[in-house]
Structure 1
Amino acid sequence: MTRPPGPLTARRRYATACALYWLPLGLAVTPLVLLFTERGIPLPAIAGFFVAHSLTAAALELPTGGLSDVVGRRPVLAAAGLLNLAAFTLQGLGTAPWVLTLGMALMGAARALSSGPTEAWYVDTVQAHSGPDADLRTGLARGDAASSAALAAGTLLGGALPWLLARVPDLAAGPGREASGPVIPLAVPPLAAAVIEIAFVLYVLTALPEPPRPPRPPGTQRSLLRGIPATVAEGLRLGGRDVLVRRVLFGAAAAGSALATIELLTPGRAAALTGAPESGAMLFAALACAGFVCSAVGSQLAPRAARLAGGGERAVLLGLGVAAGGLLLLAVGAGTDLTGPVPSLLAAGGYGLVYLGLGTAGPNENDLLHRRVPAAGRATALSVQSLALQLTGALSGMAAGSMTPGPLPWLPALAALVAAAFLWGIRRSGTVPADPDGPAPQRSADQRRLRVTDGGTP
């Protein structure tokens, strides 16, 4: 058996695995809505594709949550890579709605499988080498930084490739330009993402040897599956009996609604603004990259916002309010004429405010959640939080896709953000008790954004 690497090597391999996982996702997701539109798929059907993705990820998240504990980190990660490989290939070449639906569902299944095994491999490896008191924070931070950089690079590349290829005369004017043709410039990013997934799978199989783990008793998988309904029920009971946890869940649901609506409607708006799908993909890529930056800035400002606002709960209220203001600007911009600088400024400002506000609210919500929930129930609470985000995102995407274009499709998500902010503002729940186990690691801002488009909990 291959010997597990030391801490420094494990840190480098962990960061590389994170980058290889997130790069193809950023690459493929950027032109996806416009690609489906070019294939002649109406927006309500495209919303249905994203619903299939979100529901698959939500349905499989709890069943697969402990799978890597049973069969190992490496095979689960490799399986996730293979599923993404199939998903990106179907998205890039498929033209029939059922093929595209299958591709989105496979991507949701891959996201459910990949939720956590990479980080778990890093923690297992470092603790096996240096003991339970080994420093983990530096490596985890480096993995988050690698993920953020890969997402930003993939997003920009996913928008730039179709824009550049559309300027090649043979590609721009050839028969593949027809909506029925499988290879058009917008299809290149998901196909390139499929190639990168091959590299990801090979890297996982060769560079992530697992340290020895204690054998599990027979029947572990069966007992894990039998315990899933009880896990969900306990998470729901937790939200029912604790007002603060319930507010966190409502906040996650509102964030899912806002993110799903933005990711569904903004690409078409960008294409209408620029006059061509390829240039629209480029504009959306720039907006998405700016969203990463705004979300990261909001996360960095989250502790300061809590100090200035007088507590984490008021900081969540402030963040959700800023996000609601941004969504209102997007709705107003969608109701104006596309010509002139005003719609562009409204769209860009609103887009940035949504991600800035959610970036500020997210860490404060998670801090309150980790301090309220005991260590034994933390994973359950986070799973239910992710389910709330995914399911609400699916419903919001379906609603937005079925409405007439204009400001109306933005209103359900805006109402969700306003309602969540109202719940945080009507009555403060008092001082949150300190968690004796200490704070848990938080997700990166960029990964929080992709929980809707890509499903699951990073």
Structure 2
Amino acid sequence: MTRPAPAPAHTEYTGLDERTARRRFVAVSFLFWLPAGLTAAPMVLLFTERGLALAAVAAAFAAHSLTAAALELPTGGLSDVIGRRTVLAGAGILNVCALALIGLGTAGWVLALGMALMGAGRALSSGPAEAWYVDTVHARSGPDADLRTGLARGGAASSAALALGMLLGGALPWLLGLGPDLGARVRAYTSDLVLPLSVPVLLGVAVETVFVLYALTALPEPPRPRATLRGVLRGVPAAIGAGLRLGARDVLIRRILMTAGAAGTALAALELLTPGRAAAITGASETGAVLFAGLAAAGFVCSALGSQIAPLVARFAGGSERAVLASLAASATGLLVLAATVSSTGAASLTLAAAGYALVYLGLGAAGPSENDLLHRRVDTSGRATALSVQSLSLQLVGAAGGLVTGVLPAGPLPWLLGATVLLAGALLWARRAAGPAAHLSGRPEPATGDGIG
């Protein structure tokens, strides 16, 4: 039996030019995260309107988080074995099914299944788009090509999509409910399954369909050996093991993973504490929800701005490592401001709190591209998506643990101080420059420079 010819070496593939690759990476990032923004604002209210108690809503969200965490590493390895484009399309298809179930489902188990499928889609999507962009740029311009600009624009596009989706997802149900009979008209023209709160979710189905088609047609990849079931079953665990070993033996990668966990704790504190604080400011849960949607959208805008200025921050700071230190320190300062103003209701205190909230997201947005620039210079294409999945897993698991601790702390500044302290500890990890050789997933050591970006 004749064996298939081996795929050409990665260096023989030139692919798209850098500008086109950057533009397509921005587009695919925007299209993927827009549905997440559309569904974030109405999700809890939709579940409660379907008759779920708060405990059942929490269980449905837990199904999402646990599924994403359980599949994070296997799906990252899958992308490194069978290709980025296929995995991205699979993530989009899972999200189409998930959003359809969430938008139309009425039983609790159907909604929980939709959330679990969404978690699987989240796990599949964690890394392949960014890995595709880095692979394409390296194939065209070599391993020393500038990555920060493209990564920054991709991060900005993701944040902008979340902000736009959050605003649309919060506004559409409100607009549909303005007239006394408008909600009834929605049901009359559709069915009883479609509520005003379902409309943003079903709009997300349409956007996810566009995402799948775009991923399949606009993201060319270098040829890979034909994947077989046996090869996938053998290759995925190997990629996972290599990713875990990399985090264990490379000081710089270990710092990136610990920093991701610190950022996850800070984000968990914001997401858990801000809605209640918004309701306390406005005096009612309904208006507090509207204020929270506006704040969340503003936070994503600040994150997008932070991503955009990340290359500038790195130049002024003198390298990626110092840029991460400065950016995370700024975020921790924002959380400290929120802790200091938690008991105050005056105009000056509220203005300071808003500025602190914006600073948290601005700093996290600025830190991300520099962290990932360091990461991509430490790994090669055979394990790039796996490394990104390990990073995402660290953010989710440590963030979930931090959220649980935050939830049991007494009300007041203490929960905010916990997030600030953990994030400041993550920033201080970068006070000293990494030393020693880089440990690639491929096992080829590479000399490290003083900046740590090789």
TM-score (ref. length: structure 2): 0.74
Aligned twin of 2:4: none
Equivalent pair of 1:258/1:417 in contact (CA under 8 Å): yes
Tell me how far 1:254 sits from its aligned partner: 0.7
Tell me how far 1:6 sits from its aligned partner: 7.5
Q: 5+ unaligned residues in a row in structure 1: which ranges?
A: 442-458
Tell me how far 1:388 sits from its aligned partner: 1.0
Aligned: 1:200 with 2:211: yes
Tell me how far 1:94 sits from its aligned partner: 4.5
Task: Say which of 305, 316, 320 aligns to 2:324.
Answer: 316
Aligned twin of 2:5: none
Q: Percent identity?
A: 59
Tell me how far 1:87 sits from its aligned partner: 2.1
Task: Say which of 294, 297, 300 aligns to 1:289.
Answer: 297
Tell me how far 1:173 sits from its aligned partner: 9.4
Q: What is the letter of the counterpart of residue 159 of structure 1?
A: G
Closer/same/farther in 2, CA of residues 234 and 396 from structure 1, 3 Å limit: same
Aligned: 1:384 with 2:390: yes
Aligned twin of 1:256: 264
Aligned twin of 2:169: 158
Q: Give distance in 1, aligned partners of 2:294 and 2:104.
A: 25
Q: Give distance in 1, aligned partners of 2:269 and 2:55.
A: 12
Aligned: 1:361 with 2:367: yes
Tell me how far 1:393 sits from its aligned partner: 1.6
Q: Give distance in 2, aligned partners of 1:70 and 1:380.
A: 10
Q: Give distance in 2, aligned partners of 1:271 and 1:174.
A: 30
TM-score (ref. length: structure 1): 0.73
Aligned: 1:215 with 2:225: yes
Closer/same/farther in 2, CA of residues 6 and 360 from structure 1, 3 Å limit: closer
Q: Give distance in 1, aligned partners of 2:109 and 2:170.
A: 25
Equivalent pair of 1:321/1:421 in contact (CA under 8 Å): yes
Worse-superposed segment, 209-218 or 257-266: 209-218
Aligned twin of 2:36: 25
Aligned: 1:326 with 2:334: yes
Aligned twin of 1:445: none
Tell me how far 1:28 sits from its aligned partner: 1.2
Aligned: 1:349 with 2:355: yes
Aligned twin of 1:298: 306
Q: Give distance in 1, aligned partners of 2:52 and 2:406.
A: 15
Tell me how far 1:123 sits from its aligned partner: 7.6
Closer/same/farther in 2, CA of residues 399 and 39 from structure 1, 3 Å limit: farther
1:407-446 matched pairs, under 5 angstroms? 407-425=413-431, 428-429=432-433
Q: Give distance in 2, aligned partners of 1:321 and 1:262.
A: 16
Closer/same/farther in 2, CA of residues 234 and 124 from structure 1, 3 Å limit: closer
Q: Give distance in 2, aligned partners of 1:172 and 1:334.
A: 37
1:168-179 matched pairs, under 5 angstroms? 168-170=179-181
Q: What is the letter of the counterpart of residue 270 of structure 1?
A: A
Aligned: 1:60 with 2:71: yes
Q: Give distance in 2, aligned partners of 1:215 and 1:358.
A: 38
Q: Give distance in 2, aligned partners of 1:295 and 1:332.
A: 22
Aligned twin of 2:442: none
Per-residue CA deviation, residues 259-308 of structure 1 (Å, 9 max, x unaligned), is 12222332343345345556444433332332233223434544555565
Closer/same/farther in 2, CA of residues 333 and 223 from structure 1, 3 Å limit: same
Over aligned residue pairs, what C-alpha RMSD do you find? Answer: 4.5
Aligned: 1:235 with 2:246: yes
Worse-superposed segment, 184-193 or 93-102: 93-102
Per-residue CA deviation, residues 182-206 of structure 1 (Å, 9 max, x unaligned), is 755444322321233234345555x
- Name the SS for the 2:338 alignment partner: helix
Q: What is the letter of the counterpart of residue 53 of structure 1?
A: H
Worse-superposed segment, 360-369 or 148-157: 360-369
- Name the SS for the 1:167 alignment partner: coil
Aligned twin of 2:100: 89
Equivalent pair of 1:56/1:105 in contact (CA under 8 Å): yes
Worse-superposed segment, 344-353 or 312-321: 312-321
Q: What is the aligned residue count?
A: 425
Equivalent pair of 2:73/2:386 in contact (CA under 8 Å): no
Worse-superposed segment, 381-390 or 209-218: 209-218
Aligned twin of 2:443: none
Aligned twin of 2:89: 78
Q: 5+ unaligned residues in a row in structure 2: which ranges?
A: 1-14, 439-445
Equivalent pair of 2:172/2:199 in contact (CA under 8 Å): yes
Tell me how far 1:327 sits from its aligned partner: 1.8
Tell me how far 1:98 sits from its aligned partner: 4.1
Tell me how far 1:56 sits from its aligned partner: 1.9
Per-residue CA deviation, residues 322-381 of structure 1 (Å, 9 max, x unaligned), is 2222223333444445xx535642442221111122233334434444556678776554
- Name the SS for the 2:181 alignment partner: helix
Q: Give distance in 1, aligned partners of 2:104 and 2:262.
A: 34
